[in-house]
Amino acid sequence: MDRLDNTVRPYAWGSTTAIPGLLGTEPTGEPQAEMWMGAHPGAPSHTRRGTLVEVIDADPERELGAAAVAKFGPRLPFLLKILAAGAPLSLQVHPDLAQAQEGYAEEERRGIPVDAPDRNYKDANHKPELICALTEFDGLCGFRAPAEAADLLDGLGVDSLKPYVDLLRAHPEDAALREVLTAILTADPEDMADTVTGATAACARLGGPYTPYADMAHHYPGDPGVIAAMLLNHVRLQPGEALFLGAGIPHAYLSGLGVEIMANSDNVLRCGLTPKHVDVPELLRVVRFEASDPGVLRPEASPDGEEVYETPIDEFRLSRYVLPGGTARDLTLPTPQILLCTAGSVRVGEHGLLSGRSVFVPAGEKTEASGEGTLFRATVIV
C-alpha cells in the first residue's frame, strides 16, 4: 500500500480556495482546479516506489490483479480527481469507444501531433465520467426537451433568438436540437456576439433561472456557448449526490467541489465556453441529440456500510464509507483501489489519512479502514 503524492492542476477556471480548504493548506492566490490521483501519464501520482505509472509497469499483475490486466490491459483503467470549479468549464462532450478509436486512428494517419491545439483525440479510449458533489455543485447535463429550451430562449425577448425558438417548436426532437446547435455554432461570430450581449443583459435583468447564464457570459463574453448552454438541463447537486456523464452527452461543470472519476482518457470535444479549438463537424458526429433527464444519482447502501454509485461501465466503480469510529472495516478486494479521505481522520493500514489524502492499494492486499470520517473508494469491475 502506498501513500500518494498528487499533482494539483492550475487551470484558469479553478477555485483559489476550495482545494486548499479541503487539504487544510493556505491558498496561494492562484487557481487550483483539479488534483489527480492515478497513473495518467500527464500527471501521475508519486509513491515511495516511484510514480504510480512506474510502479504498475514494473509488475502489472501484482499491482492490478490478473483479472483486471486480462480485461483492461496492463494499466490502471481509471483516473480519480478532486475537481474545484470557481468558474464554468467548457461545454463539452466525450466520444464512445468506437468513435475514439476511429478518430484517434484518423488523426494519427494524418500526422497531427498529439499536443496540437486542433487535435481532438489524444488517445483511443472513451471517457465516461462520474462527478460526486462534496459541496453544493452546479452543472449542465444533457438536452432539455426542445419545447422547454424554446420557452427559456423566448423569455429573453431577444429578436435574433426567434429563429432558434421557431426551430425548436417546429421540428421533431432530434432534428430540432441538431439544427439549433448547428446554427448557433456556425453563426457569423460578430452577429452571435451581439446576440449573446443582448441575451446576457436580459439574463442579468431577469435573474432566477437565467442567473447561471449571466454568470457564464461574465466569464466568456460573446461566446456562443452561452446560448448553446440554454439547450441543456441545469442541475444543482447537494453533497453526496452525483451525475454520470456517458458518451455523447453534452455537459459542463459550473461551480462547486466534487470527487470525479473517469476512464483513463483525455478525449474532449468542445462546444463553447472556451477559447480552445471547436471542431463543429466532429462534434456534431459525436453528440447524441436526444432530450434526457439528468439522472441525479444517490448512493445505494450495502449491509457493510459501503455506499455505491451505480454506473453502466466497468472501468471504474466509485463508492464511499461514512465511518462513525470504532470497529475497523475490511476493504480487501481482488482489484486495485485508490482510497481518498474527504472529511475527518481515517486510518487505512499503516497510513493515517486526513482530508484530501489518499493511498493506492494493490489488488488482493489486506486492507482495513477505521476512524471517523468519509472515505471514497475507487476501483474497477472485473
For residue 239, give Cα distances in angstroms to 89, 128, 133, 257.
Answer: 20, 21, 5, 9
122: cell is: 489524444
The kind and range of the H/E element at 211 are helix 211-219
DSSP 3-state percent helix, strand, coil across the chain (nearest 5): 30, 30, 40
CA 112 to chain centre: 26
Please indicate whether residue 270 is annotated as part of the active site.
Answer: yes
**Burial (CB count within 10 angstroms: exposed 0-12, middle 13-18, buried 19+), residue 304:** exposed
Largest pairwise CA distance in the chain: 65
**Separation between Cα atoms, residue 137 and residue 254, nearest integer Å:** 8
User: Which listed residue (75, 270, 317, 377) is catalytic?
Assistant: 270
- Please give the full DSSP string across 65-123, using - where no structure is assigned: -HHHHHHH-SS--EEEEEEEESSPPPEEE---HHHHHHHHHHHHHTT--TT-TT---SS
Q: What contacts 96, CB < 8 A, 6 or more positions away? A: 126, 247, 248, 286
Could you give the residue numbers annotated as active site? Answer: 270
